[in-house]
Chains A and B, each alone.
Chain A
Amino acid sequence: MTDNNEKVLIKGNYAIAQAAVNAGCQCYFGYPITPQTEIGEYLSGKMQELGRAYVCAESELGAINMVMGAAATGVKAMTSSSSCAISLMQEALSYASSDELPVVVVNVMRTGPGLGYIYPAQGDYNQAVYGGGNGDYNLIVLAPSTVQECVDLTYRAFYLAQKYRNPVMLLADGLLGQMMEPASFGEYPYPEVDVSSWALTGAKDREARKIYSVATDEKKQIQHICDLHRKFEIIAENETTYEEYETDDADIVLVAFGSMTRNIKAAMKVLRNKGIKAGCFRPVTLNPFPHKQIHNLAKQGKDFVVVEMNMGQMFKDVKYAVEGLSKVSLVNRACGEWLSVEEIVSSVENVLKGGRQLTASL
């Protein structure tokens, strides 16, 4: 493996792991689950070699709480898992949000609900974006679409987590985790964040610090929740990222996240060759979500087709952003075989003919 600019052919899971190393992740705690086990396997040797911390945790509950403990001391720490086991971490993510701990969690999605299976899917959008834990909180959610982005967004996850003292989830999927593509690592491109004002290091020559979410004072709790939300507004102002392709003259905009982005981009070209003015829009940050940008496209009268590997989770966010200004359709499959370019093209043609949206059939 390399940490320079040379391109290497690498699996998404390994790319995430090596990027974490390059980002300065000092602690990794994890428990195996397909299709992301390679992340832990890779880091087990690497972290030992570098004198950093690695623990085969007793469970995902153990893993995420170890991450919280480590993050409380100001070091970069992460865990990775997949869907049903990410569910086990939701309590801790709620705590980490309230405690403002910079934890990084990677979810390489498989299918659910329940145990589901290891087919790739995008069914954890709602859990990631709206939160699976209790209370009013927000994770920053980043969705890579290529192996190169697995590297780039892992770097960004560590930076944003510390910059805003907010948990960050990298929402990948089994397809990305398992595929190999050329990627270059470069150097970790972000500045180191000063954590000295809050990190726990022992109460030497200063007052003792307490990181906690217990809220016995109602007024203080209202203030705390409002502060967290104000913080997320700032995150939304500064960090919302998305990609747009040929939307300027488009009549219809395909919207996808994660690795499905690749397919809508290819479908767009086919549609354009057929004389259909199609464009693409792809949120990179799923939370904060680029509502404003989608709304602006809707204002220009563009219709939308949301393409995703779930039963229409991001679809609702797009509809919410569009506010009824134009037509939003859904092209989806529940899990497994990614919707092919051909399927997307024929579905869009069907939508344009006024047909019903294509839903989830095999």
Chain B
Amino acid sequence: MQQVFGIPKSMKKNFRYTFCPGCDHGIAIRLVAEVIDELGIRENIISSTSVGCSVFLYDFLDIDCVEAPHGRALASATGVKRARPDKFVFTYSGDGDFASIGIAESLHSALRGEKISAICINNTTYGMTGGQLGPTTLMGQVTTTSPTGRNAEYFGYPIKIAEHIALCDGTAFSARVALDSVPHINEAKKAIKKAFQTQLDGKGFGFVEILSSCPTNWHMTPEEAHERIRNEMIPVFPLGVFKEVN
């Protein structure tokens, strides 16, 4: 019998799955692992990790990792890459880490055209701390810190991360993808691969924003959560490639 699907080689052996049931982090990390396998770069990777649910990346991937304080993953990654330009350097953060507390580090890494790849999981909330209003929380969304829903008067507006990153001259690739359906998951993998290839080609900063579900904090079933991505998130955060330097 031929094996057609398996655990990617760059994932650790015998890891314990620690995300909530239905969480899309599992899919995103698997996609990253598959891309690492396909590009054959596992042994050359140094990753700077973030703080939030995304931090658990290092429990799943069999790669060298250095921790960064909350929001500083892109600064840490800059340090790694500048120290070892021959290494493959990527970050994997949530929207809070990347676009709220860490927005200065993120934007400036893109502006400097750091040859690193950044993945940002956008699930419109702070997942690890139990679902508070974050930089990407949608208008009207109820969170534990916006109990009557996000309104502009009180809370301001969500940030469209991939578009902002695309505006930076140092950015070579910026895309937004989603994990709500198989076709979208396939697109997501392609985008991750392009962002990684961008670094391998020495073109500049590569970025992928991934719209992901957080069923626990959204108080939804996994199916409902994916419908929410489709019906509520994608209209606000349109999918697509916003910048690609050839």
Contacts and interface: CB of A to CB of B under 8 A. Distances in A.
Interface of A: 26-27, 29, 53, 55, 57-59, 61-63, 65-73, 75, 77, 91-92, 95, 99, 200-205, 208-214
A75 B55 CA distance: 24
Chain B CB within 10 A, most for which of A63, A204, A210, A212: A210
B43 A69 contact: no
Contacts of B75: 57-58, 61-63, 65-66, 69
Contacts of B61: 208
Given A62-B108, A73-B87, A203-B45, A208 B63 contact: yes
Nearest to A62: B75
Interface stretch (B22-30, B65-73, B142-150, B201-209): B65-73
A206 to B, nearest CB: 9
B64 A202 contact: yes
Given A65-B105, A69-B76, A95 B67 contact: yes
A66 B64 contact: no
B64 A69 contact: no
Given A70-B82, A201-B87, A58 B108 contact: yes
Nearest to A47: B82
Interface string B66-108: 1111011001111111111001100000000000000011011
Contacts of A67: 79
Chain A CB within 10 A, most for which of B48, B68, B82, B112: B82
A66 B84 contact: no
B82 A202 contact: no
Contact of A201 (B42, B64, B69, B81): B64
A59 B45 CA distance: 26
Chain A CB within 10 A, most for which of B44, B45, B65, B69: B69
A250 B156 CA distance: 68
B79 to A, nearest CB: 3
Given A26-B83, A53-B82, A69-B48, A61 B76 contact: no
Contacts of B49: 212
29 contacts: A27-B79, A27-B83, A53-B82, A55-B78, A58-B104, A58-B105, A58-B108, A61-B72, A61-B104, A62-B104, A62-B108, A65-B69, A66-B75, A66-B82, A68-B68, A69-B48, A69-B77, A69-B78, A69-B83, A72-B79, A72-B80, A77-B83, A92-B69, A202-B44, A203-B62, A208-B62, A208-B64, A210-B58, A211-B66
Interface string B101-128: 0001101100010000000000000000
B233 to A, nearest CB: 29
A201 B46 contact: yes
A66 B79 contact: yes
B46 A70 contact: no
A59 B43 CA distance: 32
Chain A CB within 10 A, most for which of B46, B61, B63: B46
Contact of B84 (A59, A61, A201, A213): A201
Given A59-B104, A61-B75, A66-B82, A202 B68 contact: no
Contact of A211 (B62, B65, B69, B82): B65
B80 A204 contact: no
Given A69-B78, A203-B42, A214-B55, A91 B69 contact: yes
Interface string B191-232: 000000000000000000000000000000000000000000
A49 B96 CA distance: 38
